[in-house]
Amino acid sequence: MQRVWKVSEYFMCRASRTWRAAFRDVFCCHPGIDSLVVPRNEYAPYAEKTDKDAYYEERAPLTPSHSRSSEVSSSGNRGSNRREEIRADSPISKGPSINEIGSLLSHSSDQDEDEYCVLLGSEDRSPVTKQPVGNKEYGACDAPATPPARVPTPRLSCDKAKVYLSLSAPAGLNELPSRSPSPVIGRDIESCEITPLKIESVDNASPDDAISRVEPEGSSDISEEDVMKLVGLMERCVEPVKPIYIQTVDHFLNILDACNTPLEVLESITYYIGVLSPSIAVACVHHIYAKTSMLYERNSEEYNQMCGEINKNKEFRRLMSILEQNAESLPNFALLTSASDLLLLRLTLRKKTIPILLAAVDVEKLDLEELGVLASCLHTPNIPLVNSEYFYNVSASVAMRELKNIDDLYKLMNIMKCFGRYFTIESKRECEGKVKSLCHELCEQGPDGRSKAAHMFDAFYRMEYAPNRAILKSASEVICQSAIPIQPQDISAVFRYCVKYGYGSQDKELLDCLSGELQKSIDVSKASQLTTNVKWLTVFYYYDKDFMQKFVECVRRDMQELDFVALSDVLDALAQVYFVPENSDDFFDRLYAEMINKLPTLMTSHVHNANRKLLLTAFHFAVYGRYPEQLIQLALSENQLSMHMGNGGTRHFLVDLCRSLSVERPDLLPKCLPMNIFHNSRRPKLYAFEKDVQGVLLSICSGDFFHLMLSTVCFFPFFLLQMRLDGTLLPVSQPGFIPPHRHQMVQNVAVVPLPRSRFCFGSKHAIGKTRLVLRLLRAQGARVVTVPHYDWDNNSNAHKGELLRRKIFKQKIDDTVE
């Protein structure tokens, strides 16, 4: 490029005025001929400054942007940073400004030394063009051979049917043809062979006019014929520059359809000079989401990074502003499509765009397709929307009317999740029948990449309806046997349903599968991402020693990052199955210290009842025989006691905590504790296993020698016997334990039946409540005799009787459990 400038500089000095005018006609543009203009006097410094040129005299006055002294570069080349003003009567005065046009073009200042090219415009230089009307002998400057990367290139024919907006990917997104030259940018500059020139410096040149001499090899003079050859050479290297902007909507939509990346879509918006209407903004948002989902897998790290970059883009923010200001004028389908796309693009819910769009939806006029899109939007939790019952009731009415027309399982489950709790019982049963008829789709993967079987658990949970066990069993088999990857949301969805509506022995395979997935993620996930799911898993009394130890190590690693609720969930998970980690004293001390430090986070957490969480935390410490004084005082304060005494579920934990304190740490009991908290008016209730143990016990001794009682905590039924030291049974006149001062003569024997529910799922490992009951019975002065189900079931009555005789009369120590 510098060689071209030096050639021109030499010619302008050596050639006559006539040839200078001809040369200027090639490299400079007259006003009114083209919309691209160049700095004034680009070559004027090398001409005689005293001469007057009619060409420049007839042009409009100039507005310099820099002083002339700053226009001389260090290499001796001169370039003007000033731009010409366009005359009012110029044809381009109504077009885009020079700054707007300059921003649409880019050029490279470093060209290969063996090529000749023409400098395109930028903020400092404008493209040089000249193409007089009616004369095709002169060429014009065009874009460089490699188009700017930021200019999108349409790849579709103009007669292609234009899809303005659809829920699926826009036309041409799935199968894009190979990249072709863009008619917007112009054709590539044709390569041409150029005779090598020899560059020599000009002797005796003044500092202001220092130039480099460019002459053909073997020649010392430049003739007019040489000048004309060079003019013809430059005509072959350039082509007319075409405007780079988009005027029509059809052209704009074609370009959007041809873009490959969301950033190209956003860049295309900057070239659209028409009115960006709300409907076009909807189409742009949909194209942005479609291109993003084509490039990256949903929920992947790359996808999330791209969404973050999109949300920061100023053109994307302009689209959001247009949608917010014109939401009332958009139809339901456009509103719902935009809201769904923005949710999938990870637009933060703190912005008002999505709530504004959804609030403008006319729910009374929804059709089935729009209802499905609305359900997919409301499926995302925590949208600060319309918390009005009217919105959901009307939508539920539309959904119940359209249930018979739904033939897509994924759409049905989304509607069940959002509006199912407002359905009538008949509609809920109709949904169950629909799911049963579409069970063949459970093995498929949903559009969001999750298993449809897991979605089914979530749908029935949110609809507050428990279907037939056969449907749940088929969904469990799909989750366990399908190759669809299980995501954390799937694990949570299954756990939530099972916690609310129960589980059975047939779910063991499902729990094994979900536990395996959790174990795989322990090494790569933070402890904060695991605490809730591990707590739900242990609620089912599922026990895996290796898994729990890995979980404890993960908690040790990330304990400082966990808040009070997460730390309480960790303790809850361990206490449910009574897992004692390695170096347990150090672990529990550190866990308690972090809880006290993070106590203020409890009041700002997501839990609905912070006081109940505090009480449960104190109870779970008591399961391990630990009674931290500060936590006990907070959990059993006067306000806490008055609040929880009338609450059924919470009151049980309050009573159990106070009773365990009365046995092991009575000094920590509050003084304001009501005395009726220790009064138990509940009658023991026996199930099949306890009745079987009672029957065998009656065959050994009379009913006068034992008494049926309930444990101090958790209300476990057990049989209390009183025995002399020589093994003789005493009749029980009054129910209750023999006081400690009589233990040298008489001892208490507690026969505790332990059915399957007292052990972890499918194991001989006793749960935390079982161990708490057995420990408190020993603390009350009883010798504990356990009757576990694995030693009792499937045995004859003779074997059972012999088992009880040996344990009661011959065994001198307490029974222990794993």
19-40 confidence digits (pLDDT tens): 334 433 433 333 333 333 333 3
Angle among Cα 225, 227, 228 to the nearest 5 degrees reads 65
Question: Looking at residue 384, what is its pLDDT?
Answer: 58
pLDDT at 183 over 70: no
* CA 41 to the chain's CA centroid: 57
Report which of 497, 422, 401 is spatially closest to residue 455, judged by C-alpha positions: 497
Cα distance between residue 43 and residue 735, in whole Å = 116
Q: Which carries the bigger pLDDT value, residue 103 or residue 606?
A: 606
Least reliable range by pLDDT among 168-177, 215-224, 759-768: 168-177
The radius of gyration of the chain from alpha carbons, rounded to an integer in Å, stands at 42
pLDDT at 792 over 90: yes
Least reliable range by pLDDT among 194-208, 376-390, 785-799: 194-208
What distances in angstroms separate CA 676 from CA 523, 609, 681, 789, one per listed residue?
A: 49, 25, 10, 35
- % the chain with pLDDT above 90: 37
Question: Looking at residue 671, what is its pLDDT?
Answer: 82
Residues 6+ apart with CB under 8 A from 276: 269, 318, 319, 322
Question: Looking at residue 275, what is its pLDDT?
Answer: 84
Q: Which carries the bigger pLDDT value, residue 488 or residue 753?
A: 753
> Contact, 788 vs 760, CB < 8 A?
no
pLDDT at 591 over 90: yes
Question: Looking at residue 7, what is its pLDDT?
Answer: 36
Pairing of strands 782-788, 746-754: parallel
Dihedral, CA atoms, 413, 414, 418, 421, nearest 10 degrees? -10
Question: Looking at residue 653, what is its pLDDT?
Answer: 87
pLDDT at 549 over 70: yes
Cα distance between residue 213 and residue 11, in whole Å = 9
Q: Kindly tell me the burial class for residue 139, based on how many C-beta atoms sit within 10 Å of its own C-beta (0-12, 13-18, 19 or more).
A: buried
Q: Kindly tell me the burial class for residue 233, based on how many C-beta atoms sit within 10 Å of its own C-beta (0-12, 13-18, 19 or more).
A: middle
Q: Tens digits of per-residue pLDDT, 79-136?
A: 333 333 333 333 333 333 333 333 333 333 343 334 333 323 333 333 333 333 343 3
Cα distance between residue 508 and residue 499, in whole Å = 14
pLDDT at 397 over 80: yes
Question: Looking at residue 660, what is its pLDDT?
Answer: 93
- % the chain with pLDDT above 70: 68
pLDDT at 603 over 50: yes
Average pLDDT rounded to a whole number, residues 126-151: 38
Please provide residue 782's backbone torsions phi and psi, each rounded to the nearest 5 degrees. -110, 145
The pair of structure tokens assigned to 682 is 């509940």
* CA 167 to the chain's CA centroid: 21
Element (H, E) at 706: strand 706-710
pLDDT at 214 over 60: no
Average pLDDT rounded to a whole number, residues 631-650: 78
Average pLDDT rounded to a whole number, residues 459-467: 92
Q: Tens digits of per-residue pLDDT, 740-752?
A: 777 778 888 999 9
Question: Looking at residue 573, what is its pLDDT?
Answer: 95
User: How many of the other CB atoms lie within 10 Å of CB of 675?
Assistant: 6
Per-residue burial over 447-479, b = 16 or more CB atoms within 10 Å of its CB, e = otherwise? eeebbbbbbbbbbbbbbebbbeeebbebbbbbb
Question: Looking at residue 10, what is its pLDDT?
Answer: 39
Please provide residue 623's backbone torsions phi and psi, each rounded to the nearest 5 degrees. -60, -35
Question: Looking at residue 588, what is its pLDDT?
Answer: 96
pLDDT at 634 over 80: yes
Q: Which residue has the tokens 């931290």?
A: 628
Question: Looking at residue 221, what is its pLDDT?
Answer: 57
Question: Looking at residue 131, what is its pLDDT?
Answer: 38
Question: Looking at residue 129, what is its pLDDT?
Answer: 35
Report which of 571, 596, 668 is spatially closest to residue 627, judged by C-alpha positions: 668
User: How many of the other CB atoms lie within 10 Å of CB of 800?
Assistant: 21
Question: Looking at residue 236, what is its pLDDT?
Answer: 55
Q: Which carries the bigger pLDDT value, residue 45 or residue 444?
A: 444
Average pLDDT rounded to a whole number, residues 630-655: 80
> Contact, 496 vs 532, CB < 8 A?
no
Average pLDDT rounded to a whole number, residues 673-700: 85
Cα distance between residue 485 and residue 582, in whole Å = 33
The pair of structure tokens assigned to 152 is 């999108």
Question: Looking at residue 816, what is its pLDDT?
Answer: 86
Sign of CA dihedral 400, 405, 409, 411: negative
Average pLDDT, the chain: 74
| Contacts of the segment 360-363: beta carbons below 8 A, 24+ positions apart | 360/327, 360/328, 360/330, 360/335, 361/332, 361/335, 361/336, 362/332, 363/391, 363/394, 363/395, 363/398
Question: Looking at residue 630, what is its pLDDT?
Answer: 93
pLDDT band per the 50, 70, 90 thresholds, residue 676: confident
Report the largest interatomic distance among the alpha carbons of the chain, rounded to a whole angstrom: 138
